[in-house]
Amino acid sequence: MVVHATFSFSEMVKIAEACDDSYDGLFFYAVKTTGIFCRPSCKSKSPNKENITFFQTVADAKRAGFRPCKRCQPDRMHFDPKWDLINDTRAYIQRHYKENMTLKQIAQNIGISPYYLSRLFKQYTLKTPRCYVENLRVNKAVHLLQTTELSIIAICYEVGFQNVSSFYQAFKKQTQYTPQQYRKDLT
């Protein structure tokens, strides 16, 4: 067992049980019965204390024969589980952008509260989920204007806008053109 010079065994057990991400990178814990090692912030079930061993580095844990946890991915250099939530949100939106989505529906599918999702998404992307959906829809509309002969109204509904006025407003805000001007001047 390798014990970190700064923390006692019992302190590291408490940190791991608390899933405290402020200690990520300072040490890693491994579970003898599973052969897996984790970050202190891993949300996996807390193992029995007698089955835990600690390591200062990923390399130490691997040399001892442990493999990285698939959940917390301790071998990834800059793992941030919040980015996974953001990426899951983006992927969900990209799969469902044509649908009339609410923040509550998106959050339910990601598994977090709407308030937390909105705050986190804006913190990491500088956009709200709604703005992200709108930008995605406008980008899809631009593509359709460039590559098809569909009518403006057909494109509006094809990319998921619920009414023409919101489509025009979002399109002009993002491109500085109305859809007709865009098609006429830039295609």
Residues with catalytic function: 38
- In Å, how far are 20, 26, 68, 142, 163 from 71, measured between CA atoms? 15, 18, 9, 38, 41
In terms of DSSP H, where are the helices of the chain?
A: 9-18, 58-63, 81-96, 103-110, 114-125, 129-147, 152-158, 164-175, 179-186
Give the Cα separation of 112 and 81 in Å (integer). Answer: 13
DSSP letter assigned to residue 5: S
Residues 129/94, Cβ–Cβ less than 8 Å: no
